[in-house]
Structure 1
Amino acid sequence: MATKPSTGKKTAAAKKPATKRATTQTAAKKTAKKPAAKKAAKKPAAKKAAKKPAANKTAKKPAAKKPAATKTAKKRPKVDPLRELAWDVHCAFDAEDATPAVQIEFVEGYLETAKDRGIAVDLDAALLYCAEVLDLEASELRATCEGHARKLATLRDAASPAGELDALLAMCRDEGRHGESFEEHGARAVRDAWPRLGPELGRRLFAGRQVLRLRNAGPFATLAGFEAARDVRWLELHVTPDCDLTPLASLTRLATLRLVGKLDGFAVLARLPKLTTLHTEANAAGIAELASFPILRVLDLVVAADVSIAGLLDLQHLNFLTLQAGLRSLDDVTAATIAALARKKSRLLRLAEHEGWPLQLTLPYRRTPGYVDLNFR
C-alpha cells in the first residue's frame, strides 16, 4: 500500500520549486538590471563622445587662422633696393636743403654708390628715386641735372680763352654745399684754369665779395690774381705746400683766414692789419712766424706729435687757442708750455680730448664735447 509523503517532506518538496523560482527571479532581476547599468554607464561615455567633437572644434580654431596669417605675410611689400639706396645716400648728406648743388651731387652719389654695390640702374630710374627722397618733382630734378650737364659740355668744348672764361663764370653762379662759394665742379674748374686765367678770373669772380669759401676747389698751386679780392673779410683756401702766399698780403680787410696745406711761410700774412683769427696747420718754423702777427687773437692750430709748441708763448695777444697736437705723450716741455699759456687768466685753451695727453695735465679743466677746456670762465 502506497504511503503518503509526510508533511515535512511535502514542505521540502514544495519549497524546492519555490527556491528555484526565487533563484530564477533573482537572476532575471540581475539580468534585467544589467542593461540598465550598461545604459547608465554608457551615458557618461556618450557625453564624453559628445564633448570630444566640441573640444576638437575649439582646438581647430587657431589652426584655421594660419592660412590668414600666411596670406597677410605674402602681401607684405618687398624691400626695393633702389629706393633703399636712395635713402642711404640721403643719410650721408646730413639732411641738407635740396639746393641745386645738393641735387647734382646727390644724383652723382646715387649712381656711384649703385656702381659700388653692383646694382644696375639707369639715369631715368635714378632721377625718379632721388626726386622721391629729396621731395622734388622728377621733372625739376631732371632740369637741374640737364642744365648742369650743358654747362660742363660748354666748358669742355670752349675753343678760346674768352669762351672758357664765360663758361667758368656760368659754372660758378651756383653756391656749393656747406656754404662753399661755388658749386664743386665749378670750383675745381676754376682751380685748374687759374694758372692760365687767374688775373682775369679773379677780377670777374672776386670783385665785391666779402666771403670766399674755396676749400672744395682743392689745392691751388698759385694765388696770382687773388689780389682782386680786396673786399674779402673771410677766406677759406686750400693750397699746395709750396704755394706762395704773397698775393694774400693785398687783402687788407681780411679778418678770418682758414688755410689748409701750408706748414710755414706765414710771415707775409703779418702785413694784414685786421687779421685776428687764423685756422691752420704749422710746424715749429710756422709757429715762430705767427708771433709776428700784430693782433692775432684766435688761433685754431694743428701740429704733428713731434712739433714743439713752445713758440706759442711768443703770441702775446692770443686769447683763444684751440690746439690739436697729435697723439703725443705729455713731456715736460709740453706740460710747462701749457701751464705758462694758462697763467694769463683771459686766455682760454681748448685741447682735443681724444688725443689723451690733455687729461694727464694737473691743471684744472672742464670737459666739453670733444675737448678739454683750461682757464674756462
Structure 2
Amino acid sequence: MNDKQTPKDLHRDTRAVREAVERSQYGENSEALYLTSGYVQPSAEAAALRFAGEEEGFTYGRYGNPTVASFEKRLAAMEGAEACMSTASGMSAILMMCMGLLKAGDHVVCSQSMFGSTIKLIGSDLAKFGVESTFVPQTDVAAWRAAVKPNTKLLFAETPTNPLTEVCDIRALADIAHHAGALLAVDNCFATPALQRPMAMGADIVMHSGTKYLDGQGRVMAGALCASQEMVTKNFLPVLKSAGMTLAPFNAWVVLKGMETLDIRMKAQSTNAMALGRWLEQHAGVQRVFYPGLPSHPQHALAMQQQSGCGGAVLSFEVKAADPEQGRARAFHVLDSMQLLSLSTNLGDTKTLVAHPASTSHGRLTEAQRQAAGVTQGLIRVAVGLEHIDDITADLARGLDTF
C-alpha cells in the first residue's frame, strides 16, 4: 500500500527521496525489498487477465517486481518521463531499446564519441542482424543532419561523452530526429537527472546505467530506459518478457536508496571535479584537460545551459608526450604511481576512480575508431569522488611531477 499520494509539484530532489515509497501492511519507512521469483494469484481468471496484461498485478519475477517498480517510478519522476523500464545493466538497456525499436533494414545515427561498448554493440553486433549505422562527430549538428536517411529510425547521443566529455545540443538533435520521423535517445549517465533532463529538451528516450551515479557507491549493476508509457508498454516490455534482461530486486533496492543522495553527491563531486580540472590545467605535465565546467572546454557555454550550470563529476586529461608510445608509458606511470585513488574502469562511485580508456573501456575498438573518438594513448579519465581535493591532487602529482 502507499498511505499517501505523492504530490505532483514536488521538487526533483524531494522526489528522489519520496517518490514511489510503496509500504506493505507493516508500514515500514524504508522501501521494502521483495525477494520472490513468483506470485500467488487470487484466482485462475485473475491470473489469465494479468498474464494477458488486462489487469494490474505481478505475475512472474522476469516480468516485474514491486521493488523494481518503485525504482522505475522514481527514476521516471526524476527524469520527467511518463514511464520507465529497468534492466540488468546499462548495456542491456541499450540492447532492449534497439530490439524494441529497430528491425533489419533500419538505420541508426550515433555519436562516434560514445562509450566503446555502445559503439561495438550498434556498429558491429546489430549489423549482423541487418541494422545499419552511421557514426558522426558528436558536436557537429550538420553532420547529424546529413547522416539521416529515409530509413533512419533512431538518433542516439551520449552527453557528456565518455571519456572526452563532449556535449551535444540535445534540442537541435531532437529537431533533426523529429523532422525525419525518427526518435532521439540520450545516454544521461554522466549528468543524471540531478544536472540534466533531456526529455525537457525534446529527447524521446533517456537511457541510464544505474551502475554509475544513481547507485553512487559502486555496489550493483542496473540499467533503465525512460520514455512514454506507450513506448515502454508496446516496445520495451515485450522484449523484457522474452529476453529476460531483468533487474534484480536487490539491485533495484540498492539503487533506490542511492538515488536519495544523488543531488548532494553530484554537487559535491562536481565541485571536486572543477577544482581538479583547474589544477590539471596548470600542471606542466598535462597537455590538455577535458571538462565541461572549464571555460576552455569547446562546449562550455552549451554545457552550462543544459547541465544546470554544472560540469559534472568526470573529466579526462592528456599527459604531455612526444608520441603515442610515450603517451601510453606516461599515462601508465601516473596510474601505477597512485597510492590512494582507485585504478578502475567504473565511474559514479564516492571513491575517485582513474582509468586508461584506450586500453580498457575503448580497448575493443580499432585504432581508427579510437582516433575518431579522440581517445589517445596518453588520455586518462578521472571519475572524481568525495575525498578531499588536496589528497586527490597529491596522489596524481606523484606520477605527473616526475615528467
Could you state the TM-score of these two structures normalised by the residue count of structure 2?
A: 0.22
Give the greater-gyration-radius structure (CA).
1
Could you state the TM-score of these two structures normalised by the residue count of structure 1?
A: 0.23
Q: Which structure has the higher relative contact order (CA within 8 Å, separation 6+)?
A: 2
Larger helix percent: 1
